[in-house]
Structure 1
Amino acid sequence: MKKRNFLITMVLLLAVSLVLAACGEEKTGGNESKSGDKKDEKFMKFLTGGTGGTYYPLGGAIAKVISDETDYQPDAISSNASADNVAELAKGNAQLAFVQTDVMSYAVEGIHAFDGEPVDNVLALGSLYPETIQIVTTPGSGIKSVEDMKGKKISVGAPGSGTYINAEQILEIHGMTMEDIKAQNLDFDESTSGIQDGTIDAAFITAGTPTGSVEGLSATNEVSIVPIEKDKVDELVKTYPFYAAETIPAGTYGLKEDVDSVAVLAMVAVVDSLSEDAVYEMTKALYENTDKIAHDRGESITLETALDGIGIDLHPGAEKYFKEEGLID
């Protein structure tokens, strides 16, 4: 009888041990997933922009570099660009995204498109290149200055895009508002098609130059870029420090002369739930393999300018890499 009771006791102890072990494994597995287990993070959504802009093809090229150089595989997806990209990151619907530095600042501050709803779960990986504000038109429109756009049909960018806010701020510096123009919410392809068809007069396009959709327009039409005068550039930069003076060089889109304008910076933003290891490896892969980025903008992406224009916190993985490279203390 004693022997039987002993055996029953041992069986019960073994059963309890197995249950506790299983609970421990479940708890450990949950912690690994939260901290960013490589298996869970391998496939990521990378939001870019419209197919007619710079973001989409560049995003595909960067995703390929990261896939080739790391165990992670970002999938570049077309989107409505900056503001929508941040919103999707904040909701957890993607892990990486292209964003304008100005729009990212608005998101953290909870202003403009993010009015009253500041984003607190998106961090910076690094900045990429200047994004020029291009006011695209044709000589036949009669638009030679920002003021000439009064009463005209002007595309101000897709709903939720940073281009819309750029347009609003540039109009403001010139003493104008959206009420002074016939604003059209079109993406880049729709904008250049509209200019070609004569259904709109001009379009704000914020993108790295040359921009694919504008190059397409220049193949069939003579393109003009409306200049922003130097005093207005200075005023804009003083009012909104995330802008910088920029020149669109002669020869771009067949332009006969340089055109003065302004630019913001493109950056890569990531969700804060990504592990330090994942972001470290992706940051390292990006900035140490810019020569492998199969896009003209790859030449503008450098480690030396990786922190330009970034006004939000870095992800710990990116911070670790930049510290190793001596960019930050």
Structure 2
Amino acid sequence: MTSAEVTRRRAMGAGLGALAGALAGCSGASGPVRRLRLATGPEGGPYNAFGKALAQAVAASGHRIEIVPVSTAASVNNLRKLDDGSVELALAMADAAEDAVLGREPFPRPTPVTALARVYVNYTHLVVAADGPVRSVKDLAGRPVAAGAAGSGVQVVTERVLRAAGLSGAPAPAPAPVSTPAPTSTPAPTSTPAPTSTPAPTSTPAPTSTPAPAADERPLGLAASVSALREGSVDALFWSGGVPTPALAALARELPLRFLPLDDYVGPLRERYAPVYTAVTLPAGVYGLTEPVGTIGVGNYLMARADVPQDAVRDLLRVVFDRWRDLLREVTAGARLEPRFAISTGEVPLHPGAVAHYRSVYG
């Protein structure tokens, strides 16, 4: 056991117990290699790239764990795989993860999953052809839109933005109840003579506003979305990922694009779905942008089943924090992984092994 590991064991909080410390100190020394399947995303996407980079980093670390990336449709699909036990680890967007834990649509019941770390932030992209008819979210009414693959986190945030804009085919959820104080009592009015009758006014129908037609949401993954926008079979595509996303950067080099602002929707989404949504900015220079574009940020969580052993979780997190520059290089530019950021997982509980790691290393 190295002196660093001895120091970590001594620094552990009393509530963690000696057993967790012993497991942390000995996990790399002996025993069989523990194989952990990691649900990532579609081939060529950022989750898939992160999963492959993590598998390589773990293999080079000397810890007795093996990460096996599994290609999927991404967040919602990944959370379901965690729940049914077909994987032990997963990547998922924060909004989908909270939906799973709280049992909100599309999850029929609360799902017992845990977080290991919030690893980076996705930026929501709404991309249209520069010479096309769409200049704002409202212009998507009745138009074909690439809305993210079925079972993806992109599809979740797309549906919520369109719903907030009144362009979703799904009914808008009821607003959260607002408590109001009970009215103060007032004395009964004194009697007054009955008013003389007056003829009833002729009824006139109240004006009705015709709702805008819903956007035509197409369940397309990133590669298919890019192809559809290039070919003109959709008027816009939604994407949630790192900056720059290589597929969009490549498209911007061959086709003039416009990236539409979405920051006006951060407030409504936070009000309805809690603070997993934040205001972020696509910086000038990326994708050829001449000025920044405000949009919606959503965290990405590295997640695990609660029954993954604590020593395996601690070994995995050591690799994540040692090699975060390599893991994020192909995913999002300029990102950092810091403990204060990593433990901010909202309604999603941290795995006990993650709690042990953060306490032992950072106090």
Distance 2:322 2:263 in 1: 38
Could you tell me which residue of structure 1 aligns to residue 53 of structure 2?
Answer: 61
Is 1:145 the equivalent of 2:180? no
Is 1:82 the equivalent of 2:75? yes
Percent of aligned positions that are identical: 26
Task: Tell me how far 1:190 sits from its aligned partner.
Answer: 0.3
Could you tell me which residue of structure 1 aligns to residue 90 of structure 2?
Answer: 97
Q: For 1:321, give the aligned amino acid.
A: H
Could you tell me which residue of structure 2 aligns to residue 26 of structure 1?
Answer: none
Task: Tell me how far 1:154 sits from its aligned partner.
Answer: 0.2
Could you tell me which residue of structure 2 aligns to residue 112 of structure 1?
Answer: 105
Task: Tell me how far 1:62 sits from its aligned partner.
Answer: 1.9
Could you tell me which residue of structure 2 aligns to residue 237 of structure 1?
Answer: 270
Distance 2:298 2:224 in 1: 22
Could you tell me which residue of structure 1 aligns to residue 38 of structure 2?
Answer: 46
Consecutive unaligned residues of structure 1, counting only runs of 5 or more, are 1-35
Distance 2:258 2:344 in 1: 29
Q: How many residues align?
A: 289
Q: Given the two structures, how large is their TM-score scaled by the length of structure 2?
A: 0.75
SS at match of 1:79: coil
Distance 1:165 1:209 in 2: 19
Distance 1:84 1:182 in 2: 23
Is 1:314 the equivalent of 2:360? no
RMSD between superposed Cα atoms in Å:
2.1
Structure 1 residues 41, 181: CA separation in 2 closer, same or farther (over 3 Å shift)? farther
Could you tell me which residue of structure 2 aligns to residue 222 of structure 1?
Answer: 256
Conserved 8 A contact 1:123-1:272 = yes
Q: Which moved more, 1:162-171 or 1:174-183?
A: 174-183
Q: For 1:302, give the aligned amino acid.
A: E
- Identify the match of residue 303 of structure 1 among 339, 348, 351: 339
Consecutive unaligned residues of structure 2, counting only runs of 5 or more, are 1-26, 170-212
Task: Tell me how far 1:256 sits from its aligned partner.
Answer: 1.6
Q: Given the two structures, how large is their TM-score scaled by the length of structure 1?
A: 0.82
Structure number with greater CO (CA < 8 Å, separation at least 6) is: 2
Conserved 8 A contact 1:41-1:274 = no
Distance 2:323 2:356 in 1: 18
Structure 1 residues 286, 92: CA separation in 2 closer, same or farther (over 3 Å shift)? same
- Identify the match of residue 196 of structure 1 among 230, 251, 266: 230
Could you tell me which residue of structure 2 aligns to residue 207 of structure 1?
Answer: 241
Could you tell me which residue of structure 1 aligns to residue 164 of structure 2?
Answer: 173
Distance 1:124 1:249 in 2: 29
Conserved 8 A contact 1:101-1:311 = no
Structure 1 residues 43, 264: CA separation in 2 closer, same or farther (over 3 Å shift)? same
Could you tell me which residue of structure 2 aligns to residue 123 of structure 1?
Answer: 114
Q: For 1:248, give the aligned amino acid.
A: L
Conserved 8 A contact 1:45-1:94 = yes
Structure 1 residues 212, 51: CA separation in 2 closer, same or farther (over 3 Å shift)? farther
Could you tell me which residue of structure 2 aligns to residue 247 of structure 1?
Answer: 281
Structure 1 residues 244, 50: CA separation in 2 closer, same or farther (over 3 Å shift)? same
Task: Tell me how far 1:39 sits from its aligned partner.
Answer: 5.6
Runs of 4+ in 1 over 6 A off after TM superposition: none
Distance 1:148 1:79 in 2: 32
Distance 1:312 1:74 in 2: 22
Deviations along 1:241-283, whole A, 9 cap, x unmatched? 2100010011111112111111110110111221110001101
Task: Tell me how far 1:172 sits from its aligned partner.
Answer: 2.2
SS at match of 1:175: coil
Structure 1 residues 270, 56: CA separation in 2 closer, same or farther (over 3 Å shift)? same
Matches within 5 A, 1:258-277: 258-277=292-311
Is 1:325 the equivalent of 2:361? yes
